[in-house]
Structure 1
Amino acid sequence: MKTAVIYWSGTGNTEAMAKAAAEGANAELFSVSEFSGNVADYDAIAFGCPAMGAEVLEEDEFEPFFTAAEGSLSGKKVLLFGSYGWGDGEWMRNWEERVKAAGAELVNGEGIIVNEAPSDDDLAKIKEIAAKLA
């Protein structure tokens, strides 16, 4: 099974989560700017992006990438994760709905959100859940 973890991180919090997810899923790890492949070529994908602005995905790189990838998610296992510093997780709930509407199976039934920097326990949980992608 071919698995990728694709993320955007501004402060390093979501990057730490991405590294834990890649380890747990035994997946290829890419920042969104480094990913030059095709999402359709993967069986399972973990996407990571923090909440930005008024609880939205990062708008310059990640949102356009994810919008383009949505059409390739049907039938795939998907894990969503990200960090936030304010709000109540609305960006993740909206993102989960987009993934479900695209026909993907949301591993764990919901995304994983962490307030600010992930703790060692948070990273262990992400690793454990990401293993379900395999």
Structure 2
Amino acid sequence: MSKMSVIYWSQTGNTEAMARAVAEGAQAAGAEVKVLEVSQASGSDVQDCDLLALGCPAMGAEVLEESEFEPFFESIEGSLSGKKVALFGSYGWGDGQWMRDWWDRAGKDGAKLYGDEGLIINETPDDAGLEQCRSFGGGFAGF
């Protein structure tokens, strides 16, 4: 059984809903899943898992949230080489540039990235969006 950490930051609850749905899909596929807000996460939550799902919405000019999530991500950069990583988040404007930038950063760090460019959902995930998250989590559990 794969161990997965789902670590996220959410202001409005959109990315939290995505994180919980990703976790549900992974659990249904047989993974042991721990879901943590980024403020509760540590480097050991990254190192002690087989699969790492990270969730953060687009903020400001399409960047990662700067007070908690960006510092956390910076703290684990350099330790993602060979780690299976999935990225997800919600956005309300722009075209997903924050995800492309984040994807590139994780890839340059040597992460084995799941999917084509992460999973993004505009605004609040509806039922179809939540199902997309569950499917993403289930697929990642078998990655």
Same structural fold, with TM-score higher than 0.5 when normalized by the shorter chain:
yes
Shift in Å at residue 37 of structure 1?
5.0
Question: Does the 8 Å contact 1:6/1:30 carry over to 2?
Answer: yes
2:42 is the alignment partner of 1:36: yes
1:4 alignment partner AA: S
2:49 alignment partner AA: Y
Question: Does the 8 Å contact 2:88/2:119 carry over to 1?
Answer: yes
Question: Does the 8 Å contact 2:43/2:76 carry over to 1?
Answer: no
Structure 1 segments (4+ residues) deviating >4 Å? none
1:107 alignment partner AA: Y
Alignment correspondent of 1:98 = 105
1:121 alignment partner AA: A
Q: Please, what TM-score do these two structures have when normalized by structure 2?
A: 0.89
- 1 CA distance for matches of 2:116 and 2:82? 15
Q: Are residues 37 and 98 of structure 1, via their aligned partners in 2, closer, same or farther at CA, if it must alter by over 3 Å?
A: closer
- 1 CA distance for matches of 2:129 and 2:47? 29
2:66 is the alignment partner of 1:65: no
Q: Deviations over 1:51-97 (max 9, x none)?
A: 00010000000000011112221111111111111111100000000
After superposition, the CA RMSD in angstroms is: 1.1
1:123 to 103, 106, 130: 130
Unaligned runs of 5+ in 1: none
Say how many residue pairs are matched.
134
1:35 alignment partner AA: A
Equivalent residues in 2 for 1:10-89, closer than 5 Å: 10-26=11-27, 27-36=33-42, 38=44, 39-89=46-96
SS at match of 1:82: strand
- 2 CA distance for matches of 1:61 and 1:101? 22
